Amino acid sequence: MDVQIRRAAGDRGIELAVRLRDGAQSPVTAGARRLAGRDPNQAIRAALREAKQLLETGEVLHPDSPPTTQTTVVNKPLQMATRQGRREGRL
């Protein structure tokens, strides 16, 4: 893993960048690992997001629970997308 720390442009603090060193994966393998929640890039993004929140607010913020907790045919795709997005910090 490569980690870089440098001053941000315009004297706006610091930038923290992280990149895995291992070679390129096939798209099929990378996609399967991502869907299974075992993609190391997801873990890196989550760790960077949590570190940023901890530095800025002093705590790690978590999104509110969905308004309904009952799984239905209509809300199942939204629940899956939300669950995936929470791991990466985006939808």
Q: Is the pLDDT of residue 72 over 60?
A: yes
C-alpha distance from residue 64 to each of 4, 9, 54 (Å)? 32, 34, 18
| pLDDT (tens digit per residue) in 29-67 | 767 776 766 777 778 888 888 888 888 888 887 766 555
User: What does the pLDDT average to over 25-32?
Assistant: 69
User: With a threshold of 0.85, does the pTM exceed it?
Assistant: no
Three-state DSSP state, 90:
coil
